[in-house]
Chain A
Amino acid sequence: MKFGTKNYIVILYFLAGLVLIFSISTFLYQYIAAVGSFSAVLGAFGNSRILTALGLSLLSAFATAALAIIFGVPLAYVLTMKEFKGKLLVETLAVDVPQTFPPIAEGMIFLLMLGPNSPLHVNLASTFTALVIAKFFISAPFVVSFTTRRFREIKQTGMNLTARSLGANPFLVFTTIFIPLSFKDIGAGVSLCWSRAMGELGGSLLFASVIPYQTEIIPTFIATQAKTLTIEALAATILVTTASTLAIISFKKLT
């Protein structure tokens, strides 16, 4: 039988199927693994160290998301409205690079910049603040990029200029036009930012250290305990991936 060109489409479906199986089975396997030792995993959910790590993870991720809104939305506005020399470079360094930055390198930089030997004479290493700083650097750009994209769409329509012609000063245009028309996009950026902050490891590991009940979060708990406290690490994995999945689903609903 001659393999006609139209039959090549089967190859596409086959390749797509393989990658789907790989991705989804990886996600589901944590639950399958937990079924085998269900009662032990269930018990681990009550482990005070894991619960504290979860609390710190949630708290630092929410603090990061809040700070990302407070600082990221104004930055998106400035990047939308202001034209200046070197803007492309500034935007790349502040928004694009952090999203792809190796988190462990980020942790190293913060350790040098804000650690025990800081040239600024502030030592924030091994503190809750260090957790938030490490998470903020790589997560906040999601809020900035989503919001900037939407703000630019609004600017493109000229609605901001129409609002100004009606008497609104630039700040009123920001609060009455840009913000309400961008709720969905800001929300989507925040849910991705929060999700990324929940899973951040490298920066926290190096800059905030892993001090149980103080700076230990779920990802650093998993990284340090996976081989010795496997059941607890699995319980922690389920907690963090489920939380992130819920955040991503909410993001999908928003967009």
Chain B
Amino acid sequence: MKGLSLKNIEAGYSDRSIIKDLSLDVGQTETLVLMGPSGSGKSTLLLTILGILTPKKGTITLNDKDITNVPIEERNIGYLPQDYGLFPHLNVMDNVAYGLAVRGKSKEDQEAMAKEMLSLVELMGFEKRRIQELSGGQKQRVGLARALAIKPHLLLLDEPLSNIDQVTKVDVASELRKLFSKLEIPKILVTHNHEDALFLSEKLAIMIDGKIEQAGELNKVIKFPKTPFIKKLLMPFNQ
């Protein structure tokens, strides 16, 4: 199938398995929000999909291709870490073009694509700015532009709105949602924040103790929680 498919994944660090027999599908244009208590394995799952951790068991398929053992740099997955991971020694343009530069694209191609991506995230004119001169929201958009410049097959976002102040958060979230609607790739975002989930996603997966306990349409999961624990976890949605 097109999109991302995880089958019976077991993953973790050395002898300790954090993800246990996890299966999950994310359709080609879907946005899935992954929620769960601290230590439930959300970040470990992102790192496993990204290729930083190799699963001990199971398979990861992206657009019908088995990528379980494909090196991280060959997966073509756009990744936005919680702190955006921007490179402080490069300006905005060079950050966005980084993925193209390491692929050996010509300088002209790099600039053209970087400008297109900066236009997509509405940061035209910021090309020569230093990273240190940007606000939290601008950094997030540069990180997104950089992740999208490589034309990824999947987008992973780790707490994308956690470093944005409350005042600008609504605007940033709105822009993010607009951007998501234009992207025809599966998107997974991890968040602790119920408002962010409600605003950005159409599909919700609840992760508890290394497993997906419940997944489905956001509204359905909120209305019909499978267990009392999930009900408690999703309580803020109903307030």
Binding site for B on A (CB under 8 A): 157-159, 161-169, 172, 176-177, 180-181
Kindly list chain A residues whose C-beta atoms are within 8 Å of the C-beta of B79.
Answer: 162, 165-166
Q: Is there an interface contact between A180 and B85, defined as CB atoms closer than 8 Å?
A: no
16 A–B pairs (Cβ distance < 8 Å), ordered by A: A157-B85, A158-B81, A159-B85, A161-B52, A162-B81, A162-B85, A163-B87, A163-B98, A165-B50, A165-B79, A166-B79, A167-B73, A167-B99, A168-B73, A169-B102, A176-B101
Pick the contact of B83 from A157, A167, A177, A181 — CB < 8 Å? A157
CB <8 Å contact, B72 and A177: no
Q: Which residues of B contact A180 (CB under 8 A)?
A: 89
Q: Given A157-B83, A158-B81, A176-B102, answer yes or no on A166-B146 (Cβ-Cβ < 8 Å).
A: yes
Q: Are B85 and A169 in contact (CB under 8 A)?
A: no
Given contacts A158-B83, A167-B103, 9 further A-B contacts (CB under 8 A): A161-B50, A161-B85, A165-B50, A167-B73, A167-B76, A167-B102, A167-B150, A168-B99, A172-B102
Contact between chains at A165 and B72 (CB < 8 Å): yes
* CB of A84 to closest CB in B, whole Å: 13
B228 within 8 Å of A (CB atoms): no
A169 CA to B73 CA in the complex, in Å? 6
Among B51, B52, B99, which residue has its beta carbon within 8 angstroms of that of A166? Answer: B99
B9 on the interface (CB 8 Å rule)?
no
Q: Mark B78-102, 1 if CB is under 8 A from A, else 0.
A: 1101010101110000000011011
Q: Is the CB of A161 within 8 A of B88?
A: no
Chain A proximity mask over B146-171: 1 for CB below 8 Å, otherwise 0? 11001000000000000000000000
Q: Which of B50-67 contact A (CB under 8 A)?
A: 50-52
The smallest C-beta distance from B116 to any residue of chain A, in angstroms, reads: 16
B99 closest partner in A (C-beta) = A166
CA distance A167 to B101 in the complex (A): 9
Across the A-B interface, give the 3 residue pairs with the lowest CB-CB distance, nearest first. A166-B99, A162-B85, A165-B79
Q: Which residue from chain A places its CB closest to the CB of B78 in the assembled complex?
A: A165
B151 CB to nearest A CB, Å = 11
- Which residues of A are found within 8 Å of B52, using beta-carbon distances? 161
B77 at the interface (CB under 8 A from A): yes
A180 to B81, CA, bound (A): 21
By a CB distance below 8 angstroms, the chain B residues around A169 are 71, 73, 102
- Please report the C-alpha to C-alpha distance between residue A20 and residue B134 in the assembled complex, in whole angstroms: 44
Q: Among the listed B71, B85, B88, B103, which residue makes an inter-chain contact with A181, where contact means beta carbons less than 8 Å apart?
A: B88
Residue of A nearest to B88 (CB): A181
B79's closest neighbor in chain A, by CB? A165
> Does A168 lie within 8 Å of B102, measured CB to CB?
yes
User: Which chain B positions have C-beta within 8 A of A159?
Assistant: 85, 87
With beta carbons under 8 angstroms apart, the residue of A158, A161, A166, A181 that contacts B102 is A166
* B150 and A177 contact, CB distance less than 8 A: no
**For B78, what are the chain A residues with a Cβ–Cβ distance below 8 Å?**
165
Cα–Cα, bound, A165→B47 (Å): 10
- Whose C-beta in chain A lies nearest to the C-beta of B83? A157
B42 to chain A minimum Cβ distance, whole angstroms, is: 16
CA distance in complex: A166, B103 (Å): 9
Known A-B contacts A157-B83, A172-B102; the reply to A164 vs B72 at CB < 8 A is yes
Task: List the A side residues contacting B87 at CB < 8 Å.
Answer: 159, 163, 177, 181
By a CB distance below 8 angstroms, the chain B residues around A157 are 83, 85
Q: How far is the CA of A167 from the CA of B99 in the complex (A)?
A: 6
Q: Tell me the bound Cα distance from A96 to B27 in angstroms.
A: 53
B73 with A164: CB separation less than 8 A: yes
B1-37 residues at the A interface, CB under 8 angstroms: none
Considering the complex, give the chain B residue whose CB is closest to the CB of A168: B102
Q: State the CA gap A177–B73 with chains docked (Å).
A: 15
The interface residues of chain B lying within 8 Å CB-to-CB of A161 are 50, 52, 72, 81, 85
B91 vs chain A, min Cβ distance (A): 13
CA distance A143 to B88 in the complex (A): 23
Q: Which B residues lie within 8 Å of A168 (CB)? A: 73, 98-99, 102
CB–CB A165/B102 < 8 A: no
Q: Closest A residue to B89 by CB, please name it.
A: A180
Which one of A165, A169, A172 has the highest number of Cβ atoms from chain B below 10 Å of its Cβ? A165
Q: Which residues of A lie under 8 Å from residue B72 when comparing CB positions?
A: 161, 164-165
